[in-house]
Homo-oligomer: A and B are copies of this chain.
Amino acid sequence: MKPTICIEYCPKCGWMLRAAYIAQELLTTFTDDINGVMLKPSEVSGRYTVSVNDVEVFDRKTAGRFPEVKELKQLVRDIVNPDKSLGHSDKKT
């Protein structure tokens, strides 16, 4: 079974569009590597987390900011397909 990515976002904060955009970035890059991306409205205010198979790889609260796309793709790639090159998204930020 391929990994499932979950983006849990606070709908009251207006983060649905942001979460959906990130989902599309991940689906574009990891089409063949993942089972899918789950968009999950959080019941916890201010929550914005990304997890792979229920293991959290990014938490906005911990980081104090939103993830950058490049960074998130690297975090996800390291779990779902470590040998995959991300092209220009693999350069250092």
Contact = CB atoms under 8 A, between A and B. Distances in A.
Interface of A: 4, 6, 8, 11, 16-17, 20, 23-24, 27-28, 31-32, 34-41
B23 A27 contact: no
| Identical copies of this chain, number | 2
B41 A31 contact: yes
Contacts of A11: 27, 31
Given A17-B24, A20-B20, A20-B23, A38 B38 contact: yes
Given A20-B27, A27-B20, A36 B36 contact: no
30 contacts: A4-B38, A6-B36, A8-B36, A11-B27, A11-B31, A16-B24, A16-B27, A16-B28, A16-B31, A17-B24, A20-B20, A20-B23, A20-B24, A20-B27, A23-B23, A23-B39, A27-B39, A27-B41, A31-B41, A32-B41, A34-B41, A35-B40, A36-B38, A36-B39, A36-B40, A36-B41, A37-B39, A38-B38, A38-B39, A39-B39
